Structure formats: structure tokens, C-alpha cells
Structure 1
Amino acid sequence: MSEALAEQRHSPPPFEQPPLSEREFSAYQRLVYREAGIWLAPAKKALLVGRLSRRLRELGGLSFGAYLSRVGEDEAERVRMLDALCTHETHFFREPRHFQLLEQEVLPGWRAQGHTGGGEGRRVRVWSAGCSTGEEPFSLAMVLRHHLPANEGWEIDITATDLSTRILERARQATWPLDKAGEIPKNYLRAYMLKGTGSQEGRMKAGPELRALVRFQRVNLNEGHGVVGRFDLIFCRNVLIYFDAASKARAVERLLGHLSPQGLLFLGHSESLTGLGWRVRTVMPTVYAPRSSALEAAARG
């Protein structure tokens, strides 16, 4: 027998992930719901297994039960677990109708009136909740900067938040593959994006003017703290679809609590405030304004 064959015969067997029991999955369901307001339906069991298995291997082959005990005691690991379970699909200028509303109606109106929102004078505050890798807040930054120029005294403050610390680190880099350039209107692409060279070839980066408008922080919508004050625009798109009715109602109340009286709340194309919208009126599908807003008064007039 050759030495190589002997070594192969005595090498340890490959790691086999212990299965996730129904009892353990129920415990993960309760933990994720308590921490993030996200309800993992039974059909999500395979997703949980797939997204946590790599981390279990990194930790030396922990079982799902052992990892459950660990995340119950270790806050940092609990955050990492939530990072792994979140979905982060996004695009520049996603849901074009929202941007058309801003460019054709909202921002020209603000500019003509010198702004009548919740900020002081010409200061505009925006919250991108569930910002993922940054495409949404930087799309907003391009539109706002174009229509509300700095040389006219407009101040723009965009707060971009997400549950995932890992994704926020990527968003802060403001760098994306160059093939995403096709999602950005050409006038904005030329004005605000930098094409990478050398080691950054095949990449693009938001220019310094845009990066100065956006600040990132971790916020858990289920906990109800982390952001301060009122916002003129709140984008919370494709986030509420992961919540059940109770956690969705809590999140909406928190979002509306931060919306200025003349502000607008934008949700994703498959989301609505049906059954929860007594404090708002529909401006267009998935866009809402407080019932006491000047927009409603104008509509009545």
C-alpha cells in the first residue's frame, strides 16, 4: 500500500451538517421574530439551513442546536445570524414610477415654493430604510441633488439604514460593478459616477458630492429606535413583506411617527397599508401622505 493511499484511508471523514429538527426550527422562528420582527414561514426552513450552514462550518462544525444556544448568549453573533438570513436584492432607480413622481411633481413643487416640508427652509431630510447595498439612497441622492442644487442653498440629508452590518459596510464603500451602470440614467451617470481604473477597473463609485449627502447606520425597525426627527421622504420598500401583520403594524407606526406632516412614505410594489392606513391617504399606489397634509387639502380644494 502506498503512503499516499494510507494517508487517504486515515484522513477524517468530511463534515456532515447535523439536520435541523422541527423543534430547533421553531426556536429559530421565535428568535428571529423577537429580534427582527421577521416571521420565517415553514417554507423558509431550507433557506435558514442554507444560509446558516456555512457559519456553522466556520465555527468548527456546530450543530443547529449548539448555534442556537450561542446566539442566545452572544449579541454580536446574533447580529451576524440576522445578517445571513436577510435578502439584499436591489437596483438603482428601482420602481421608476416613484422617481417619476419625485422628478415631475414633488421636487419641482418644493423648489417653486422654497420647500414646505418638515425641515427648516431649504433643508430636506430623507430616510432610506432597508437600504441594502446603497443603490436606493444613492439614486435618491442623484435625483435630489439634480433638482435641488447646492448653489441655490438646498441642504440634503439622507439617512440610510439596514439591519445587516455586513451589507452596510458594502454600502458605505459606494462602489458597484460597472454592469450596474445601465440602471442609471445617462445624465446622472455622467454627472455623479466615477469609472474605476487600474485595480478598480470594472467598477464604479459614487462621486464625493453624492457621498457627502448619505450617512449609514444600523437600525432594526422592530426595535423602534435609532433614527431621530422627522423626514420629508421615507422609502421603506420591499421590507414589510418579511413581517407578519403585528410586526408590520408596529413598523408602520414607527415610520409614520418619523414622517413630516407634508411628507411622503414610499413602499414596495407588492406592499400596501390596507388595514393599517387610517393615518394616511394614497397619493398613488404604494405612495402615502399623512391625512392632515397640505397635499390632501389641495386635493379637496
Structure 2
Amino acid sequence: MTTDTTTKDTAPGAPAPGTTVLDARGVTMRFGGLTAVRDVDLTVNSGEIVGLIGPNGAGKTTFFNCLTGLYIPTEGEVRYKDKVLPPKSFKVTAAGIARTFQNIRLFANMTVLENVLVGRHTRTKEGFWSAILRGPGFHRAEAASRARAMELLEFVGLDAKADHLARNLPYGEQRKLEIARALASEPGLLLLDEPTAGMNPQETRAAEELIFAIRDQGIAVLVIEHDMRFIFNLCDRVAVLVQGQKLIEGDPATVQGDERVIAAYIGEPMDNDPGAAEAAEVEAAEAAAESAAGADAATDAAPGKENDR
């Protein structure tokens, strides 16, 4: 099923068009003596697609992790709709920011529908005892969640596979499912970490259409991607990170014509280049920190935690 990109219905969590939803100021992330992200500013407005690009090890995913509560920035602050975000990933999701990951993180042994229902938990108002007693309120909420989940599966073109196990979906459809699950939390801002990684050209085009359709619902989108053609076709603005610092930000034509960007991608050394050894140290520190943060996030997302707000 092809996504209908003509829809203009506003998503439930989307703010008014043109509203600044993300305002990151002076974000710096250090791991010991290593600096992975240094003094990065970035804004994203509702109904806008912003790209974040840079060579491997530039700090893009680390910056994403600072935006979503997986990391607490060493310096700087992140605001969503003019409120400083809490330093917990499940609270960031509840506030209105959702994300996908570079490595797909689906529940492989759950159905497609069940995966999307998991994403609804931050919008479910029924508490622990309601779930245990399964009263009328619980059944109404459950029916509403299932209906919304099916709407989202139809939106991404997976409604016919609602009862399939997630592990049996082709790779491109697993990516779509992860996006549907993220949308289930009704975000005003969606962060996509390499959404077309591993896709063939047809799947990449379908992903582009889907992201345009999400934008058309008023949802702000911030996307990391290595496919430059995809990014420059997709985005209203593009920011470039090199060695953890923002090199340039502007419209696609300005960015792709900048000599510094070209130099960064063909491997010419930049000023204060830390060298391969230090870059490898930063990547190792990031990996260790992300592993620890993921374990903390799993603990925070345990039953009952979403009501601890």
C-alpha cells in the first residue's frame, strides 16, 4: 500500500504550524575528557523537516540522545515547546518527542499491532488497578488504543499485516513499523535516526513519501541520514556536524555547495582535527554510555514508571 501524501489532517500532538517545538542551546556532551558534542544550537519548527548530517563519528546520534533524555548534556539545555525537558527518556516521550533508532528496536515476537500498542502507553490514562480489575474505563481505553493503532498501521501501509509477527516483516516494513510505533505516542516532534539505512531505492522513495506525509500532519521531523540525495530532497533545512560541532546550517542548496562540507565528506583535514585515535576513543565512550543509558531507560519504562511524573 502506498502512503497517501495528500492528507492534511493535523496529528493529535501537533502544535500550530510554524511554532518552534525544539530549541537546543549550547548542547555539549563529554565522556570523561572526551568531547563528543560541543556547543550545538538547533531549532526545529512544527511542520518542518530538518536534516542532521556529518561524517561518521561526528556526534549526530549522541546529539539525538541528548535531545531524548538518554543522555544528560554536560552543558546547555533542551527545550520542547519552551519547557526544559526532563532528564528521563520516558518523560521526554510523554512530553511529546518520539524517536526511532539506527538499529531497529522492535519486539520481534510480538505482532505488528502489538508493537504499535506498546507505543500508546504514554497516552493511556488508565492506571495499574484499572488494568488489574479491567473495568469499563479500561475496556474503553483499550478499544480506543487499538483503533488508533490500526489508523497508524493504515497510514504507514501495514494494516493488512497487523497480525503478523514483527520478525517476519521485510526490512523496509520493519522500518515503517518502528515509525508507526513512534507516532503512537502522538508526538509533536519525531526524531529519525538513519531511517533509510539498508533500504533499496524503492524502499527509500517510500520512506521519503511517508516522512512528507508526517510533515503534512504538522509534526516536526528531525532526521539523521547518510544518503545525501535523500536528505537534500527531503529537508527544509540541513545542519552539518563535524567533530561534534555545527559547521553550517541552511537550506539544502546552500549546504551542499559549501566547500567546508565537501571537504568534510571527502576526508580533507579540518582545523583542530582530533585524528583517528581520538575519534575512536569518542566512539567507544559513546557506545559504553549508550549501553548504560539504554539499561536505565528500560528500568524507567517498567510498569508504573510512566505514572511517576
Q: Which has the higher helix share?
A: 1
TM-score (norm 1): 0.27
Higher relative contact order (CA 8 A, sep 6+): 2
TM-score (norm 2): 0.27
